[in-house]
Amino acid sequence: MSPRRINQATAGLLLLGFDSALAIYLRAGPAVTDPFGNRLMSKKYLHDLRLMGGKTNVVLAEFQAWLAERWEGENLAVTVAVLTVVFVLAFRFVAARPDLFNPDSPSPSAPPEGSADTGTTTPPKP
């Protein structure tokens, strides 16, 4: 793929991703609050989590709550924008190096063709 085509595809992907993020941000409503509050703020709930699974259980519950927040409202727009940048960087990495993923190219650890090493050993002659 030529550098010009890579740049055009990159611009298109960035435009699509950032436009989607902007549309999500503009259409996102106000944050919905839980009338009963956040369970992770309750000392009793945290105590029960710690009793059932230890500190790891509490950390995983907090991570799950954080991850769930990334997929709602205005946070979703930021998530889409960040994922767009990550995807475009990965695309540029792969597109600029087509020989990395070519099955016909020899692997770096393989001996060069025509070398004497065939993988078999012969006993020395007396």
pLDDT tens for 34-47 read 777 778 888 898 89
Structural domains of the chain, count:
1
Query: In the predicted model, what is the mean pLDDT of the chain?
Result: 84
Contact 77, 21 (CB under 8 A): yes
Q: Is 109 inside any structural domain?
A: no
Query: What is the tens place of the pLDDT at every residue in 15-30?
Result: 999 999 999 999 987 7
Distance CA 22, CA 78 (A): 9
Please give the residue range of the domain that contains residue 30.
Answer: 3-101
Query: What is the tens place of the pLDDT at every residue in 49-80?
Result: 899 989 999 999 999 988 888 888 889 999 99
Q: Is 110 inside any structural domain?
A: no
Predicted pLDDT at 109:
61
112 three-state secondary structure? coil
Q: Is 125 inside any structural domain?
A: no
Predicted TM-score (pTM) of the model is: 0.67
Q: Is 17 inside any structural domain?
A: yes
Q: Is 115 inside any structural domain?
A: no
Q: Is 108 inside any structural domain?
A: no
